């Protein structure tokens, strides 16, 4: 299960960003996950729930996963098509001289935080 390693790396990155920006806590994390990234969202969520309890800024942080559709490009007809439906063979011209354009990535899309206010800094 490689999801745990990715979760730990993601949380480390977000915790570092939170520390550098002096936030009170991270309230929501939105990740973009490509549909051919190899990530199983339910496994990722389970790992995330376990790991976030051990953090400084993310203990109550909501996780949103946005699935990015996989698209491939055909070098012959110069068209894109949905990878999951047609795999490596272009449905337009039938060639298999194609490559994946998008859909295998994992990106931090958005981090929502609470920042410290002047009043809370004095307390």
Query: Mapping DSSP to helix (H, G, I), strand (E, B) and coil, where does residue 16 land?
Result: helix
Q: Is the pLDDT of residue 72 over 60?
A: yes
Q: CA dist 69 to 15, 55, 81, Å?
A: 28, 31, 10
User: Count of CB atoms within 10 A of residue 2's CB?
Assistant: 12
Minimal CA–CA distance to 66: which of 113, 33, 36?
A: 33
Q: CA dist 48 to 1, 32, 79, 98, Å?
A: 13, 15, 37, 34
pLDDT digits (tens, 9 = 90+) for 75-109: 999 999 999 999 999 999 999 999 999 999 999 99
Domains and CATH numbers, the chain: 3-68+103-114 (3.30.2320.50)
pLDDT digits (tens, 9 = 90+) for 12-61: 999 999 999 999 999 999 999 999 999 999 999 999 999 999 999 999 99
């Amino acid at each position: 299960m490689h999801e745990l390693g990715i979760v730990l790396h993601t949380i480390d990155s977000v915790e570092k960003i939170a520390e550098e920006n002096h936030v009170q806590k991270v309230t929501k994390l939105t990740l973009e996950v490509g549909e051919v990234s190899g990530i199983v969202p339910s496994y990722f969520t389970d790992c995330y729930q376990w790991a976030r309890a051990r953090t400084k800024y993310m203990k109550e942080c909501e996780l949103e996963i946005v699935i990015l559709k996989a698209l491939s490009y055909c070098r012959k007809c110069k068209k894109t098509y949905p990878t999951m439906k047609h795999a490596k063979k272009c449905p337009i011209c039938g060639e298999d001289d194609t490559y994946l354009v998008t859909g295998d990535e994992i990106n931090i899309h958005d981090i929502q935080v609470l920042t410290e206010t002047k009043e809370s800094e004095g307390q």
